[in-house]
Amino acid sequence: MPGMPETTTSPPGRSNSLSNYSPRASTVDVISTPWDHPHGVKLRQAQRLEITSLGGIDPGTLPTAGDVTVYVVAYDQGVPIGCGGLRPLIPTTGDLHNAAEIKRMFVEQSHRGRVRSGQSVAAMILFALEAAALQMGVQMLKLETGEFLNQARAFYERHGFTECAAFGAYTNSTNSVFYEKSIEAYV
């Protein structure tokens, strides 16, 4: 992906460029990957299976390779264990200007809550997405998640996301909760 480094394992610290920091010793690597890569496809299928088994639906517009401009896969010693992507939002109102949506954020259940280099795998993915968003000029991250996904909601809240109104194609969604986070370049 343009502007994304090949490997990241920690947040960008005090730099607004991922290339200005070195990875910490860890067996988890977060790597920029094409949307259609088989590892990403497998992880997204696992995510959808989990969501539907819990009674969730897939509201909004389905993400595609054409609209997800950044996609990362987390690997634990070469095994794909998590993923997440960014889809720039088309401004229909002022609140979507310079905004992107986090899509298909997922970590295999066996790796949830596991900490590597002081961070969970989910946090590593989120930090990589935030850094990529900054490089794209994005100032606001938004997301939709199921109201029944308490762990996911708590994760986003711990990382600075606050509840917001429905946006974009989700305006008629039921059983959804919406979050946003203003991001700015690290000094």
Residue 83 lies in a domain: yes
Whichever domain contains 131, its CATH number is 3.40.630.30
What is the pLDDT confidence band of residue 182, given thresholds at 50, 70 and 90?
very high
Residue 9 lies in a domain: no
pLDDT at residue 98, rounded to an integer: 85
Residue 61 lies in a domain: yes
Strands (DSSP E) found in the chain: 28-32, 70-76, 79-88, 99-107, 115-116, 119-120, 140-146, 162-164, 176-182
What is the pLDDT confidence band of residue 116, given thresholds at 50, 70 and 90?
low
Residue 187 lies in a domain: no
Residue 11 lies in a domain: no
pLDDT-wise least confident of 10-19, 82-91, 138-147: 10-19
Rounded average pLDDT over 144-165: 94
Domain membership of residue 111 as a residue range: 18-182
Sign of CA dihedral 71, 29, 157, 4: negative
Structural domains in the chain (count): 1
Residue 4 lies in a domain: no
Rounded average pLDDT over 37-44: 97
Task: Say if CB 99 and CB 140 are below 8 A apart.
Answer: yes
Residue 13 lies in a domain: no
pLDDT at residue 97, rounded to an integer: 65
Does residue 157 register a pLDDT over 90?
Answer: yes
Residue 7 lies in a domain: no
